[in-house]
């Protein structure tokens, strides 16, 4: 297993571009995520945040540029290979199985991750039973942490939208990734669940988990992120700690200003 030299970013995106026909969704984007941080990625709708995440996590090929994870080039590798390198992501549109129980959703996430390694090698063996027991324990711990243990055996379909997002986040954590990328984890979520998601991210970060988070909820971004990258038109506009970003005229004009105009509740 490769380890990250001190100071080398966990994730380095170097000049990636991605076009859809004539639309340059991502245009020479550079960004880095330092290990141990919560890094925010913000910018107006359509500026290329989700496409950037898709490229980083292997769900879209890049046209050019490089993506280094722990110093290794992962550009254009499969989502599965990138997950095994230690990078998991959630989607702006939740992807969980409504017909499976909440517990099964977590176990399946882990099984999908493990499919190409121990599952085939140890099928039916004691090693596999041990792994299954460990997965069940991890799922139990996660469900307690997110306050959904009473829904362990309930079909995920009965959960609220926000609770489903919590399950998707927990599912991404089942494989102990080094980096978790979240695409708008709070969008459409009620305040009670927002508090839970925020607490989960904070607790896990305090234990060393690194996050890259796309989010429009500026209160959350400013409270939770150590470093914020602002995108505009497919590229990085600026970056810095919350206090710098919050007070930058370009951000106020291009982004926060517009958000304020929508008369969002304080």
Near Mg ion by CB under 5 A, which window of 60-68, 86-94, 109-117, 134-142? 86-94
Binding piece for Mg ion, criterion CB under 5 A, among 85-93, 142-150, 154-162, 171-179: 85-93
Q: Count helices and strands (H / E) in the chain.
A: 11, 10
- Provide the minimum distance between the beta carbon of 83 and ligand ADP in the complex, in angstroms, as a whole number: 21
| Nearest Cα residue to 233 out of 85, 47, 70, 99 | 47
Which of Mg ion, ligand ADP, none is residue 51 near (CB under 5 to 8 Å by kind)? Answer: ligand ADP
Q: How many CA atoms lie within 13 A of 72 on its CB side?
A: 14
DSSP H or E run through 243: helix 242-246
Nearer to Mg ion, 49 or 77 (CB): 49
| Residues binding Mg ion: number (CB under 5 A) | 3
- Choose between 114 and 183: whose C-beta lies nearer to Mg ion: 183
Distances (CA, A) of 119 to 31, 79, 184: 36, 19, 32
27 binds, among ligand ADP, Mg ion, none (CB under 5 to 8 A by kind): none
Q: Which does 47 bind (CB under 5 to 8 A by kind): ligand ADP, Mg ion, none?
A: ligand ADP
CB-based closest residue to Mg ion: 50
Considering only 17, 32, 39, 50, the residue that binds Mg ion (CB under 5 A) is 50
Cβ closest to Mg ion, residue 69 vs residue 91 = 91
- Residue 91's contacts (CB-CB under 8 Å, 6 or more residues apart) are 168, 183
Task: For 39-62, give one letter per residue: b (16+ CB within 10 A) or e.
Answer: bbbbbbeebbbbbbbbbbbbebeb
Identify which of 243, 193, 260, 229 has the alpha carbon closest to the alpha carbon of residue 32. Answer: 229
- Residue 20 binding: pick among ligand ADP, Mg ion, none (C-beta 5-8 Å cut-off by kind): ligand ADP
Of 142 and 228, the one with the shorter C-beta distance to Mg ion is: 228
Pick between residue 156 and residue 214 the one whose CB is nearest to Mg ion. 214
Q: Rule CB under 6 A: which residues touch ligand ADP?
A: 20, 23, 25, 43, 45-51
The span from the CA of 12 to the CA of 178, in Å, is: 14
Binding region for Mg ion (CB under 5 A): 49-50, 92
């Amino acid at each position: 297993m490769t380890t990250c030299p001190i100071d080398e970013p966990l994730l380095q995106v170097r000049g990636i571009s991605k076009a859809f026909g004539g639309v340059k969704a991502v245009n020479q984007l550079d960004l880095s995520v330092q290990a141990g941080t919560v890094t925010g990625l913000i910018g107006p709708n359509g500026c290329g945040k989700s496409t950037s995440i898709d490229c980083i996590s292997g769900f879209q090929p890049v046209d050019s540029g490089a993506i280094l994870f722990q110093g290794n080039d992962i550009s254009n590798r499969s989502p599965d290979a990138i997950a095994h390198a230690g990078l998991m992501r959630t989607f702006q549109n939740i992807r969980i199985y409504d017909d499976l129980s909440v517990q099964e959703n977590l176990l399946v996430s882990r099984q999908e991750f493990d499919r190409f390694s121990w599952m085939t090698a140890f099928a039916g063996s004691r090693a596999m039973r041990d792994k299954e027991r460990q997965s069940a324990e991890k799922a139990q711990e996660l469900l307690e942490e997110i306050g959904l243990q009473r829904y362990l055996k309930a079909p995920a379909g009965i959960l609220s939208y926000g609770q489903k997002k919590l399950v998707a986040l927990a599912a991404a954590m089942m494989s102990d990734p080094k980096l978790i990328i979240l695409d708008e984890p709070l969008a459409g979520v009620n305040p009670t669940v927002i508090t839970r998601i925020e607490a989960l991210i904070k607790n896990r970060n305090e234990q060393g988990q690194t996050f890259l988070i796309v989010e429009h909820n500026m209160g959350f971004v400013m409270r939770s992120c150590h470093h914020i990258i602002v995108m505009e038109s497919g590229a990085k506009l600026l970056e810095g700690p919350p206090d710098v970003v919050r007070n930058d005229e370009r951000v106020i004009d291009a982004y926060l200003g517009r958000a304020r105009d929508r008369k969002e509740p304080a």
